[in-house]
């Protein structure tokens, strides 16, 4: 509901903030290395943190007090990203061990491992109803998976550089991917077809924070007439609340707003 903001840091801590009053609500400690990703459950009472210590931690905030619920262990290298599905019943984690792991946040048991990428997996995202999972990798591809059957559905190819981030639009009709090839690509998750390329981010930081907003932009892009914008690696993409706006962050030190 936007009442809480979490920030992850190389200092191994996660801070919680009230975005209205800009006051700090608390600090989470427990990871032994950099924390690089956070994900809230739909009710904001539980959230997950991913760390370079190869673990995912689950935290409880239901009572207003910060409590560690447990630690998910299984990855053999840095965990780069975590995502929760629409009802908080499934957690996905991406890792530099080239895999995505699926977990039950209630029992904290591993449900399975998705294997297929040939290089580091940098990001994972679930669509609006949890029926589709996307993973981004430094093998220059995005893979789509059925998280229930734990089967690969397809591989999206087209980027000429490492893919750093993926994000579904709120209604799940579009998937955006950000890459070191300086572009953002838009895909149709149903047909697996590329819808267009947003071209253009000018330099390099592998971590980012994505959130929702309520802004508008006049930029329009399609596959016939690509819009130029970024001049260096694109690190992150995020949609606003109704899917009418896409934001992209780049090493060219800019954030660009697009009308998809």
Each residue's pLDDT tens digit, 61-101: 888 778 899 999 999 999 999 999 999 999 999 999 999 99
Q: In angstroms, how far is CA 23 from the centroid of its own chain? A: 25
Q: Domains along the chain?
A: 116-258 (2.130.10.10)
Q: What percent of the chain has pLDDT over 90?
A: 63
DSSP 8-state class, residue 253 = S
Q: Which of 7-21, 106-120, 194-208 has the lowest mean pLDDT?
A: 194-208
Q: Residue 142 pLDDT more than 90?
A: yes
Integer Cα distance of 97 and 84 in angstroms:
20
Terminal Cα distance for the chain, rounded = 24
Q: Residue 149 pLDDT more than 50?
A: yes
130 pLDDT band (50/70/90 cuts)?
Answer: very high
Residue 61 pLDDT: 81
What average pLDDT does this structure show over 112-128?
A: 98
Integer Cα distance of 5 and 184 in angstroms:
26
What average pLDDT does this structure show over 118-142?
A: 97
Q: Residue 205 pLDDT more than 60?
A: no
Residue 248 pLDDT: 86
Q: What is the pTM of this model?
A: 0.84
Residue 230 pLDDT: 77
Residue 26 pLDDT: 87
Residue 166 pLDDT: 97
Mean pLDDT of the chain: 86
pLDDT digit string, tens, across residues 221-254: 333 223 357 788 888 888 888 888 888 888 888 8
Cβ partners under 8 Å of residue 96, min gap 6: 77, 78, 80, 120, 121
Q: Residue 212 pLDDT more than 60?
A: no
200 pLDDT band (50/70/90 cuts)?
Answer: low
Integer Cα distance of 177 and 6 in angstroms:
23
pLDDT digit string, tens, across residues 156-192: 999 999 999 999 999 999 999 999 999 999 999 999 9
Integer Cα distance of 165 and 57 in angstroms:
21
Q: In angstroms, how far is CA 81 from the centroid of its own chain? A: 6
């Amino acid at each position: 509901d936007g009442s809480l903001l979490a920030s992850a840091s190389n200092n191994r801590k996660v801070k919680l903030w009230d975005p209205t009053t800009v006051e700090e609500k608390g600090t989470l400690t427990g990871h032994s290395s950099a924390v690089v990703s956070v994900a809230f459950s739909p009710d904001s009472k539980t959230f997950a943190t991913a760390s370079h210590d190869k673990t995912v931690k689950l935290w409880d905030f239901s009572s207003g007090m910060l409590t560690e619920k447990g630690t998910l262990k299984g990855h053999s290298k840095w965990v780069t990203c975590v995502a929760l599905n629409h009802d908080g019943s499934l957690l996905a984690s991406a890792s530099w061990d080239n895999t995505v792991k699926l977990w039950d946040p209630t029992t904290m048991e591993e449900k399975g491992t998705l294997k297929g990428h040939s290089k580091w997996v940098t990001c994972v995202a679930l669509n609006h109803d949890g029926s589709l999972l996307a993973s981004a990798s430094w093998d220059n591809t995005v893979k789509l998976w059925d998280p229930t059957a734990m089967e690969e559905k397809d591989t999206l190819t087209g980027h000429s550089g490492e893919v750093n981030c993926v994000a579904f639009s709120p209604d799940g009709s579009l998937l955006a991917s950000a890459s070191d090839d300086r572009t953002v690509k838009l895909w149709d998750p149903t047909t697996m077809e590329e819808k267009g390329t947003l071209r253009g981010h000018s330099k390099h930081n592998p971590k980012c924070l994505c959130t929702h907003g309520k802004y508008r932009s006049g930029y329009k892009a399609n596959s016939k007439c690509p819009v130029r914008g970024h001049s260096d690696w694109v690190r992150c993409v995020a949609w606003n609340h109704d899917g009418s706006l896409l934001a992209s962050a780049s090493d060219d030190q800019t954030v660009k707003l697009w009308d998809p």
